Structure formats: C-alpha cells, structure tokens
Amino acid sequence: MRFFKAAILAGTVAVIAATSAFAADVKIGFVVKQPEEPWFQDEWKFADIAAKEKGFTLVKIGAQDGEKVQAAIDNLGAQGVEGFIICTPDVKLGPGIVAKAAANQLKLMTVDDRLVGADGKPLEEVPHMGISATKIGETVGQAIVDEIKKRGWDMKNVGAIRVSYDALPTAVDRVEGAISVLKGAGFPAENIYDAPQAKTDTEAALNAATTVLNKHADVKYWVAFGLNDEAVLGAVRATESVGIPAANVIGVGIGGADSAINEFKKPQPTGFFGTVIISPKRHGYETAINMYDWIANAKEPPKLTLTSGSLALRDDYQTVRKDLGLE
Ligand code: FCA
C-alpha cells in the first residue's frame, strides 16, 4: 500500500513537471509595425502579462517594412517559436506573410490591421482581432458634431481635416465613419479636406495637415480626425504652428494611450479635445492567450473579433479610464 501511494505521488509529480516543462517550452512571437508608438508598447505590455500568467516565452519584434517582416518571421522560426501575432506595416504583404509563416511552420494571427489578398479582400482564413472601425469613427464624428454645436459654430465656417492613410482599410473605415456623421449633421462636404499622411505617425500627420491649413488660410474654425491619436495630434500641432487658437480647434483621436493622456494632462486645453479609448489589453493579452491556447490546447482562435471603444474627453478621461479598469 505504501508503495502504491508513493507510485501515485511520483506519477503526479511527473505529470506536473511535464506540464510546466511544456508551458516553458512554448514560444510565441508578437510583431508590430511601429514599436515606438504607445499603443503598440501597451499591446506588448499586456502580451507580456499573458506570457507570465501561462508561462510561455514572448518574442517581441518591431518590423517597419516588408523586408523586416520577412526577416522577423524567419528569425521566429529559427528560435523555435510555434506561432505569432502580427500587426503588419502593410496589409498588402498578406499572401507573403501567410507563405512565410507556413514555410516556418508557424501559426499566424493578426491584430489591428487585417491582411488582404491580391484582390484587396481580407484574408478571412487568418484569425484576426481588430477594432470596430466604422462604429468607432462614428463615435469620433458624433463627439465633434456635439462640440461644434456646444461652441455655437456655424458649420459653414468650419474646415475639417481628414488625416488619411488610405492604403489601410481600417484607417479608411475610421475616417469615413466620422465623415458620415458629420455630413448627416449638415456639415458641408466641400469643407472636408484630405490630408494624406506618408506614414502613420505624428510628424507625417503634422506635415499633411500643414499643407491643408496653408491652402485654406481663410478658414476660422477647424476640426480634425484620423486613424489614431498620433494623426490627430499631428493636425492639432499644425493648427498651433500656424497660430490658430486652441479654442478654435476640435480634434478627436482614437487610441487613448499615453499620447492622448499626456495631452489631456497639459495645464491649458489644446485643440486635442478627445479620444476614443480602445483596448490594448484585449489586443495584446487576449491575442497572446488565443495563440497560446491554439498551440498548447489545439483550440483555434475565432476568425474575427472586433473590439469596441469608449469616448473620453479632457474633462472626463479619468472616470472613463477607471470604468474601463485602466486605472
Ligand atoms: C492601427 C493603427 C494603430 C492602432 C491600431 C488599433 O494599427 O495604426 O495606431 O489604432 O490600428
């Protein structure tokens, strides 16, 4: 009997050891297009929490262009990674990324920006988590319309800067969502000016918006929207640089990471009026857990998950963040 008990005990120990050895062996990659952007820093931070919780190793790589993406995937393969999550620098790399992942026998999941095929249609077989882009864009548009009314501006005298990055479908959906609400509220379509940014960062947005402002120097009031907080911050910085007072500017971004929060913390209000806070926890933690479950438990992630956003303004962002469990 004593021997029997000892055997059971030994067996239990062996099973536990095998499980934890397995978890420690799992390696998951997380590749992002713009590692310096606070949103992606936050995604990585939450993916790291998932790694600690489940005991897998997270390999984080920044890949700003197609070549770096190819190298990153080979690198992951060489390190014995079994699957990765990617926010690609260019959605048109889709078929190449799928092929590279397959060549390295890596499971693949995308986050934020959904891969497209040669026909421009989404690669639906690749599991994806993105934001509800149109709806979030509409929230941006509604916040702008409400504030225009509150400030008593006549829409005829307001210009809108559409900071655009039309190569990215989610960017188009976001700005078009905002525009549909503006137009629905009577905002004149001819007052909406496109400011195409060369890259999705603040500097590129500032340059694009400056061109629009210089062309329409007679316009008194401005609103601005775009793909993310960086885009809108660029437009706001542009209005400042040409001397438009903050009280004449309403910019509403998307994101809610440090770029936006630091702006709200400034003692004087700027033209950056609000942001729609989206969830880096869901996009970082949940995708990493999904990938882990896929590798360790053969549980495939859902093909498509779209997450929501919550509007936060300079005046109420702390409450909104608290309600979202962010502070
Ligand atoms: C895109 C944008 C990011 C973030 C993310 C959810 O990748 O470039 O700033 O908004 O979608």
Give burial (CB, 10 Å; 0-12/13-18/19+) of 193.
middle
Per-residue pLDDT tens over the stretch 68-125: 999 999 999 999 999 999 999 999 999 999 999 999 999 999 999 999 999 999 999 9
Q: What is the pTM of this model?
A: 0.92
Ligand 1 is surrounded, with C-beta below 6 A, by 37, 39, 87, 112-113, 131, 170, 200, 227-228, 254-255, 278
- The residue whose CA has the least distance to atom 7 of ligand 1 is 112
Of 216, 125, 133, 115, nearest to 172 (Cα)?
133
Give the distance (Å) from ligand 1 centre to CA of residue 46.
16
Helix (H, G, I), strand (E, B) or coil at 323: helix
Q: Which amino acid is at 84?
A: F
The Å distance, Cα 254 to ligand 1 centre, comes to: 8
Q: How far is 35 from 240, CA to CA, in rounded Å?
A: 27
Cα(176)–Cα(170) distance, integer angstroms? 10
Cβ atoms of residues 198 and 168 within 8 Å = no
Distance 37 CA to ligand 1 centre (A): 9
Per residue, the 3-state secondary structure of 209-270, as one string, reads HHHHHHHCCCCCEEEEECCCHHHHHHHHHHHHHCCCCHHHEEEEEEECCHHHHHHHCCCCCC
- Nearest-atom number in ligand 1 for the CA of 254 is 10
Contact 253, 231 (CB under 8 A): yes
pLDDT digits (tens, 9 = 90+) for 31-47: 999 999 999 999 999 99
What CA–CA distance (Å, rounded) separates 72 from 81? 11
To the nearest whole percent, how much of the chain has pLDDT over 70? 93
- pLDDT at res. 18: 46
Q: What pLDDT does 22 receive?
A: 57
Record the tokens describing residue 301, joined without a space: 């992630």
CA 257 / ligand 1 centre spacing (Å): 11
CA–CA separation, 188 vs 35, rounded Å?
A: 38
Question: Is beta strand 158-164 parallel, antiparallel or unpaired with respect to 192-196?
Answer: parallel
What's the pLDDT at 5? 45
CB-based burial, 127-151: b 16+ in 10 Å, e otherwise:
bbbbbbbbebbbbbbbbbbbbbeee
Counting as low any pLDDT under 70, the low residues of the chain are 1-24
